[in-house]
Amino acid sequence: METSQKKLPPIDAAGQKHVLKGMTLEELQAWCTERGQTRFRGTQLFEWMYRHQVTETAAMTNISERFREYLRENCILTTLKLQKVSRSDQGTTQKLLLTTDDGLHLEAVSMLEENRHTVCLSSQIGCNVDCDFCATGSMGFLRNLSVGEIIDQLIAVYRLTEVPVTNIVFMGMGEPFLNYDRVLTAADIFHHRQGFDLGATRITISTSGILPGIKRFIREKRRYKLAVSLNATTEAIRTRIMPVNHTWSIDQIFAELRLYKSDSQRKIMFEYILMKDINDSPEDALRLVSMIKDFDCKLNIIPYNETDGRYQRPDEEVIEKFLEVLYNRRGNIQILVRWSKGQDIAAACGQLAVLNG
Ligand code: SAH
Ligand code: SF4
């Protein structure tokens, strides 16, 4: 029952509809009370949008017809359109091309393995960190994604696959820590018990080493997993392939990471792309182990996915040798080798780039 029959305010003066997708529980509660509704109405909307992933107001059966009509006419409950799906790895990897309301394109990837369903989400359209090896970097930066657009990527995957999602990784297009507030708000909604109810350790945020973001993440004691794209064992090589290292060096990043309180569920993950003749020697492997061995960490080795041909994946024997050195010296470091999924549909790490404009 409505708390008040007072007239609901019309859409705002600029004729803009209210974008509800992406609002937090508190924001939805406040938004509802401003319109003469109860706070509980906000809770219901939160659950419909995130727990049940409903976008049609008709399905919101515990909300009055009058308010549903108001929502239908004045609000935006979905921010992305699914444009295209590409499949590979016998259909277990699917890349979704999605379109925003302002006509821009972005991508999300769904990867099904035995008992895991991992979704790789984009945080920005393009990226201005400009890593030399990355296809997303080469498309430049268009804009940050909104909270709603981040969430709608996950909902598009749920709709398409109808398989519950077990893990989320912010490893798609963009640098999550350059869109910190929106990415963390989306992660909070993924984690929220009345939202998507995903465990905090099932959400991983990968950064190229944006020091202010890392500092903030640690200071705020965020419980999501942190992944750092290291990719080199010397400042000189890292600066060459990742110009961001000019601004925030390996040394500075490591000094900050020493403040991170890891635990068995929440180890820092270092990502290391293996690139031919750049960072793939046995000496690199030795340096890599000695750099990270004091951290409670995981190491993710990613044989490079070729994009425009400027960098190559090392030969098989070179990769084997590199891994052998790592395994022999690894101590407590947990090593994972990620033979990327979806290379044939350019859905693998660093291959996400779409034409915009
Ligand atoms: N901007 C963030 C997250 C997106 S990139 C970051 O850089 O961490 C996700 C991962 O893909 C990073 O570890 C990046 O180093 C890696 N990557 C980029 N291009 C790649 C490529 N062509 N092959 C393999 N991994 C790549
Ligand atoms: Fe941006 Fe990450 Fe690609 Fe670097 S690797 S350009 S930070 S998306």
Q: Does 4 reside within a domain?
A: no
DSSP per residue, 171-240: -SSS-GGGGHHHHHHHHHHHH-TTTT---GGGEEEEES--HHHHHHHHHTT--SEEEEE---SSHHHHHH
The answer on 172 and 222 residing in a single domain is yes
CA distances from 236 to 241, 275, 319, 348, 352 (A): 9, 15, 22, 27, 27
pTM for this prediction: 0.94
What is the C-alpha separation between 347 and 120, in angstroms, rounded? 10
The CATH number covering residue 24 comes to 1.10.150.530
The answer on 174 and 145 residing in a single domain is yes
The domain in which residue 327 lies consists of 80-345
Q: Does 357 reside within a domain?
A: no
Ligand nearest, relative to CA of residue 310: 1
What is the C-alpha separation between 30 and 37, in angstroms, rounded? 9
What is the C-alpha separation between 228 and 31, in angstroms, rounded? 37
The answer on 129 and 71 residing in a single domain is no
Q: Does 5 reside within a domain?
A: no
The answer on 94 and 64 residing in a single domain is no
Q: How many Cα atoms within 13 Å fall on the side-chain side of residue 185?
A: 17
Cβ of 123 less than 6 Å from ligand 1: no
The answer on 211 and 289 residing in a single domain is yes
Structure tokens at 196: 């998507």
The answer on 111 and 69 residing in a single domain is no
Q: Taking the CA atoms of 311, 315, 316 and 321 in sequence, report the sign of the dihedral they define.
A: negative
Q: Does 355 reside within a domain?
A: no
Dist. CA 170 → ligand 1 center (Å): 10
The answer on 152 and 51 residing in a single domain is no
Hey, which residues does 342 pair with through a beta bridge?
none
The answer on 87 and 34 residing in a single domain is no
Tell me which of 46, 76, 106 is where a domain ends: 76
Q: Does 3 reside within a domain?
A: no
Cβ of 304 less than 6 Å from ligand 1: yes
The CATH number covering residue 260 comes to 3.20.20.70
Please check whether residue 119 is in contact with residue 168, taking contact to mean a CB–CB distance below 8 angstroms: yes
The answer on 215 and 285 residing in a single domain is yes
CA distances from 286 to 208, 234, 235, 240 (A): 22, 12, 16, 20
Residues with CB under 6 A from ligand 2: 127, 129-131, 134, 136-137, 174-175, 208, 229, 350
Tell me which of 59, 76, 93 is where a domain ends: 76
The answer on 292 and 151 residing in a single domain is yes
The answer on 178 and 110 residing in a single domain is yes
Structure tokens at 311: 């960098």
Q: Where are the beta strands (DSSP E) in the chain?
A: 18-19, 75-76, 80-88, 93-100, 105-113, 116-120, 124-126, 141-144, 167-170, 203-207, 225-229, 268-274, 297-303, 334-337
Exposure string of 64-86, with b = 16+ CB inside 10 Å and e = fewer, is eeebbebbeebbbbbbbeeeeeb
What is the C-alpha separation between 289 and 57, in angstroms, rounded? 54
Tell me which of 76, 98, 123 is where a domain ends: 76
Q: Does 10 reside within a domain?
A: no
Pick from 186, 175, 183, 247: which is nearest to 211 by CA?
247
Cβ of 171 less than 6 Å from ligand 1: yes
The answer on 198 and 135 residing in a single domain is yes
In total, how many domains does the chain have?
2
Q: Does 305 reside within a domain?
A: yes
- pLDDT tens track, the chain, 357 positions: 444 445 565 555 456 899 999 999 999 999 999 999 999 999 999 999 999 999 899 999 999 999 999 999 999 999 999 999 999 988 899 999 999 999 999 999 999 998 999 999 999 999 999 999 998 878 889 999 999 999 999 999 999 999 999 999 999 999 999 999 999 999 999 999 999 999 999 999 999 999 999 999 999 999 999 999 999 999 999 999 999 999 999 999 999 999 998 777 889 999 999 999 999 999 999 999 999 999 999 999 999 998 888 999 999 999 999 999 999 999 989 999 988 777 777 766 667 777 665
CB atoms within 10 A of CB 59: 11
Ligand nearest, relative to CA of residue 206: 1
Q: Does 259 reside within a domain?
A: yes
3-class SS of residue 136: helix
